[in-house]
Every structure is written in C-alpha cells, then in structure tokens.
Chain A
C-alpha cells in the first residue's frame, strides 16, 4: 500500500517535470501568426471592428488604457482573459473560418467589438 502512495507521488512529480519541460521548450508567440492590435479606452474598443486573416493563427494584443481591469471575453472565440488596468493582454487564437466573431468586456458588458475574419 505504501508503495502505491509512493507511485502516485512519483507520478505527480513526473507530471510536474513534464509540464516544466513543455514550458521550457515552448515559445508562447505563435509561429506565423498574424498580429492584430486593439485597445480599450473609456470603455470603448478602439477600433470597435478589427480584421484578421482566415485559416491562420492570430495573436490579439489588447491594450487596456483605462485604469480599471477588464475581462476580454468571447463565446465564439472561446476566450476569457482578464487584463489589468493600464496594461496589455495577449491572446492566441487558433486558425479561424471566415465570419464575424463578437467579443465584449465581461466586467462592463456594454463594451463590445467584433473581429471580422476574411
């Protein structure tokens, strides 16, 4: 029984090591990704409509110029990310089909925008 507990512990340690190795080898910037910039000021996305290429990874760089934190959220993009006041958030998107993808600030839901993929 004790040996099993040991095994479980070692399995946990092995998992952590595996994660650490993954992180070590990983670079977060997606290779070949199109970068799209966006900012938030006075609870407005600027610009409110952004464009991106289809079938290519996209990196969204969102500058929150307000003092308050915001949460960039989109159901269709499967994204939820808190961005602190006066800082920048980076969101990696997988390749997308052409279409319109809506997003909003979950902390202030009247702040809305759209990503147009074409």
Chain B
C-alpha cells in the first residue's frame, strides 16, 4: 500500500505543481475552470489511451517510440508556454487596465487558455500514463488490489493537495508582482520542458551532439529526491545535464525573454491615442 501511495503521489505531485501554477496564472480569467478541468480530464483520458497502447508505442520507431512521444509532447508544452508568455507580455497591461476600469472579468484572456489547457493536459498525460500502468498491473494481479487502490487514492489526494498549496502560495504574492513572478515561473518551466524534451531525444540516440555530461551534482541534490523532483519539474533541474540540454535551456530562456522584451509596449498610451496615431499614420 505504501509503495502505491509513493508512486502515485510522486507522479501526481509533478503534475500538481504545474496545475497549481496555471491556476494562479489564470486567476482572473473567466471560465478558466472549464479549460483547466478540460486539460486535466483530457490528460487522464489520454493517459488511459496511451497506457493501452504502451507495447505498440514502445515498439514504434525501432524501439524508441516512447522517447519520441515524450519528446514531442514536452516540446509542444514548451512552445505553448512560450506563446502564452509572449502573448501576455504583449497584452497583459491592457488586460489589467480593462479589468480596473470596467471591473469585468477578462474574456479575451481566454485566447491563451487553450495553450495553458494543453500544458496542463501534457503534464497530466505524462505522469498519468505511469500511474495507470502501475495500478493496472496491481489490479490485474488481484491479490492486493484493494490495499493498493487505497494507497493510490491517498497518493492522488496528497498530490492534489500540493497543487492546491502551490496555487494558494502563489496567490499570497501581491497582485502587482504576481504577473512578473508567474511570467518568470512559466519561462523557466518552458526552458525546463524544452531541455527535458531534448533529454528524451538523447535517450533515443537521435540527438547525439554535445552529449558530454557537464556536471554531476547528484551528491548535493539528486534528481530522485523530492526537492530534486520538484525543481526538475519547475525549472528543469538535472543533476547530470548534458551540454546539449544546457544549450537548449539557455536558448529557450533567451528566446522567451527577447520576444517578451520586443513585444511589450514601451509606454502605456491610452487606447484612444494609439488609435488616433494609427489613423494619422494610415492617412499619410
């Protein structure tokens, strides 16, 4: 029962951190519950489907189908986060102003909710497959089924608690800093996902360039420890990163911050003024 609890908690914990952050990021957006709930549900359904086809997936692409699948979904999640962050850098200010002036919930923020729902779905899918396979294996053997299901359920609830605590913790941040903090969190999350995606391609022996391990910090903080896992999920920490992983990590961060910088409006100009400027520029 304890083994089941630990395995399920470990997986749900990782997905839970991401769900908690996304909940905090989308704090004021209308109907976000539907999108995030949809992402979680889609991830769970996806997990069951992938679990059923594990053998076929493993055998695909000369035995590296699983690695390619993981690399692809992590890559997609990273791209979605980059898109979200850049979009928010562009529109975040006007959204905040609209909210203040009209006091209404922001409906237009729903644009990047799809991106975030996909990120949540991927996070759940990735961890969920293992949980489903593990529980299936246990239930199939029959003997200790109920105990293990109980352990799994406790693990699931503890994982959900982590998600909720992450959300609550982030909400403690004053709202004027929240945008900056969550932007940074998502940027590092995206960089971590991108470097993990590359790590899967390295495992599949598809990316072999720059594959020397740059450092080994497992004696300070091992990937397998709880803190190591949390940092692995949040910022892509690895105790033995390859040069390629570091290159991808730094490049992703550079791309996000450059795009955010380039697209953030320099000054806050009332919409009527920008409209007038655009009109005069057009008439010229």
Q: Do A12 and B137 have beta carbons less than 8 Å apart?
A: no
Q: Report Cα–Cα, A1/B108, bound state, in Å.
A: 15
For the complex, is B28 an interface residue (Cβ under 8 Å from A)?
no
Chain B interface residue count, CB cutoff 8 Å, equals: 46
Q: Report Cα–Cα, A67/B138, bound state, in Å.
A: 11
For the complex, is A84 an interface residue (Cβ under 8 Å from B)?
yes
Q: Do B130 and A71 have beta carbons less than 8 Å apart?
A: yes
Q: Do B140 and A68 have beta carbons less than 8 Å apart?
A: yes
Q: Report Cα–Cα, A87/B90, bound state, in Å.
A: 49
| Interface of chain B residues 76 through 98 with chain A (CB within 8 A) | 79, 82-83, 86-87, 90
For the complex, is B182 an interface residue (Cβ under 8 Å from A)?
no
Known: A8-B259, A12-B79, A75-B223. A69 touches B63 (CB 8 A): no
Q: Which of B205, B218, B223 makes the CB contact (< 8 A) with A57?
A: B205
| Interface of chain B residues 59 through 85 with chain A (CB within 8 A) | 59, 61-64, 66, 68, 71-72, 75, 79, 82-83
Residues 197-222 of chain B, each 1 if its beta carbon lies under 8 Å from chain A, else 0 = 00001111111000100000010001
Q: Do A67 and B7 have beta carbons less than 8 Å apart?
A: no
Q: Report Cα–Cα, A82/B218, bound state, in Å.
A: 23
Q: Do B58 and A89 have beta carbons less than 8 Å apart?
A: yes
Q: Which of A22, A57, A87 makes the CB contact (< 8 A) with B55?
A: A87
B222: chain A residues within 8 A (beta carbon): 75
Chain B nearest CB, measured from A61 CB (Å): 8
Residues 2-13 of chain B, each 1 if its beta carbon lies under 8 Å from chain A, else 0 = 010001000000
Q: Do A22 and B62 have beta carbons less than 8 Å apart?
A: no
A5: chain B residues within 8 A (beta carbon): 87
Chain B nearest CB, measured from A57 CB (Å): 7
A100: chain B residues within 8 A (beta carbon): none
Chain A nearest CB, measured from B109 CB (Å): 15
Chain B nearest CB, measured from A54 CB (Å): 16
B residues lining the A interface (CB < 8 Å): 3, 7, 54-55, 58-59, 61-64, 66, 68, 71-72, 75, 79, 82-83, 86-87, 90, 129-130, 133-134, 136-138, 140-141, 201-207, 211, 218, 222-224, 240, 259, 262-263
User: What would 26 A/B residue contacts be, using CB atoms closer than 8 Å?
Assistant: A1-B263, A4-B263, A12-B79, A15-B75, A15-B79, A19-B71, A22-B206, A26-B206, A27-B62, A28-B204, A29-B62, A57-B205, A69-B133, A75-B218, A82-B58, A84-B55, A85-B137, A87-B58, A88-B59, A88-B63, A90-B58, A92-B64, A92-B203, A92-B205, A107-B134, A107-B137
Q: Give me the 7 closest cross-chain CB pairs, A-B, nearest first.
A: A90-B63, A68-B137, A84-B55, A28-B62, A92-B205, A87-B55, A84-B54
A residues lining the B interface (CB < 8 Å): 1, 4-5, 8, 12, 15, 19, 22-23, 26-30, 57, 67-71, 75, 78-79, 81-92, 94, 106-107, 109
